[in-house]
Amino acid sequence: MTSLTNAVFRRYLAVTPSAQQAVKTRIKKKLSSFDKIFSQQSNTRKKPWETLNEDKASWFKRKYAHVHAREQNPAADPYGRKKAHVEKLKEIKSQAKLDQKRHKSKFQNKNTVQKLVKDNPIFEYVYGTNSVYAALLNPGRRFHSRLLYYGSVPSKILQRVDELKIPTEPVDKHRLNLLTNYGVHNNIALETKPLQPAEIAYLGDMDTSSAALTVHELGFNNEHIPHELLYGIKANSKNFPLGLYLDEVTDPHNIGAIIRSAYFLGVDFIVMSRKNCSPLTPVVSKTSSGALELLPIFYVDKPLEFFTKSQEMGGWTFITSHLADATAEKYTAGKTLSVRDLNGMCTELPVVLVVGNESQGVRTNLKMRSDFFVEIHFGGSENGNRAPEPIVDSLNVSVATALLIDNILTCK
């Protein structure tokens, strides 16, 4: 075994030097050919400044200095076309990034549990103690599926559930969080059908002796179906009904706060534009503390027709809240009232208070059909620390609505 190994080793020593020599010779030939070709190219090819017998720095300065000067010189682009083109390209690029983000947001990964308990298109989950109890009292809620709870159920809700024979189901708190989108559910949620407010065409006349007004509901064939709606009367402060019209109020929390204030202060009904306002979701019900279920609410699909017919057929007066500006003077001149002018107005005529969007206010076409306008003026002190520009220049729409309602219903 040893002799065989030695023989192989001796053969390796004999072969290896010749193999190494062949490799070295091959590499040397390649290097020499590369050097030869490169030297030929380097000898034949000259740089542009060498051809002109010019210094490299001076050649570049002469060749490209005017390009940078043209970019810095505004006279080279007197009409701003290049600048506009560059800004347009930046805008297109930023818009493409924004579109990409929006597209990605549609396909975000969601928890499997959230997919299983996502909102049912047929049912919604009203949550919160007062909201659930008010929903159980509301005859407009046509069907309740079940009551989900964690811990114990308040006695008044349990009694109402037993009367309506609604099944109850204990669940864990995490599931209630998912069903209510992590709202303040007070460990209780009611699975029920969404509210379907009636769509009306206009407000009719009223009978002050019986404290009833006529609401003309819109039928399937655009027929007007009159319904009688009772309203409240307060001695020496309210003989006629007070309605509230919401135009393009998009925040559900604002709508809930408005409904809560309107119910507490004594508004008789609320009318909303169907296409532009936030829908009556469980968030609205929770923010209103259940007042959503207790106050008559109607939808209007044609606001302009609603304003005109209510004024002509029922004698209703529309008072619109607005912020004074130069563009509105042409149709507000001679129709502007102060907040004090609203005092006790419902003792003399039926009123609809119109409030609008959180940022833009009431739409112009509705302002043009309004009878009067009212503005809450800034009452802050001019002394003290003030910002160079007004930071708080208006009230929240729910707070402003509550102040106007209180002044209309109060005699001072």
129 and 231 in a single domain? The answer is no
Domain end residue (candidates: 35, 68, 98) = 98
Report helix, strand or coil for 334: coil
Domain end residue (candidates: 157, 173, 192) = 192
CA distance 388 to 150: 52
Q: With bands split at pLDDT 50, 70 and 90, how would you rate the model's confidence at 113?
A: very low
Most confident of 39-48, 109-118, 217-226, 308-317: 308-317
Predicted pLDDT at 116: 47
Residue 382 has pLDDT above 70, yes or no: no
CA distance 283 to 126: 8
- How many CB atoms are closer than 10 A to CB 364? 11
Q: Which residue has the tokens 């009611």?
A: 190
Tell me the mean pLDDT in the region 28-35. 57
Query: Quick check: is 255 in a domain?
Result: yes
61 and 150 in a single domain? The answer is no
Q: With bands split at pLDDT 50, 70 and 90, how would you rate the model's confidence at 411?
A: confident
CATH number at residue 250: 3.40.1280.10
Nearest to 131 by CA among 33, 252, 27: 252
83 and 127 in a single domain? The answer is no
Nearest to 173 by CA among 163, 182, 161, 162: 182
Residues 6+ positions from 286 with CB-CB distance below 8 Å: 126, 127, 128, 131, 183, 184, 256
Query: Quick check: is 13 in a domain?
Result: no
Most confident of 6-10, 37-41, 186-190: 186-190
CB 289 within 8 A of CB 184: no
351 and 208 in a single domain? The answer is yes
243 and 300 in a single domain? The answer is yes
CATH number at residue 133: 3.30.1330.30
Query: Quick check: is 34 in a domain?
Result: no
Report the run of H or E that residue 304 belongs to, with start and end.
helix 303-314
Domain end residue (candidates: 192, 212, 236) = 192
Q: What is the pLDDT of residues 147-200, one digit of tens each?
A: 999 999 999 999 999 999 999 999 999 999 988 988 999 999 999 999 989 999
233 and 342 in a single domain? The answer is yes
133 and 242 in a single domain? The answer is no
Predicted pLDDT at 147: 95
Query: Quick check: is 186 in a domain?
Result: yes
Query: Quick check: is 3 in a domain?
Result: no
Most confident of 40-49, 51-60, 94-103, 244-253: 244-253
CA distance 133 to 127: 9
Query: Quick check: is 8 in a domain?
Result: no
Is residue 47 packed enough to be buried (19+ CB in 10 Å), middle (13-18) or exposed (0-12)? exposed
307 and 211 in a single domain? The answer is yes
265 and 364 in a single domain? The answer is yes
Predicted pLDDT at 335: 84
Report the number of distinct structural domains present in the chain: 3
Comparing 234 with 347, which gets the higher pLDDT?
347
Lowest mean pLDDT among 20-24, 84-88, 389-393: 20-24
154 and 221 in a single domain? The answer is no
| Segments forming the whole domain that contains residue 123 | 112-192
Q: What is the pLDDT of residues 228-255, one digit of tens each?
A: 999 988 766 788 999 999 998 989 999 9
334 and 309 in a single domain? The answer is yes
Lowest mean pLDDT among 23-32, 49-58, 80-89, 284-293: 23-32
CA distance 195 to 203: 21
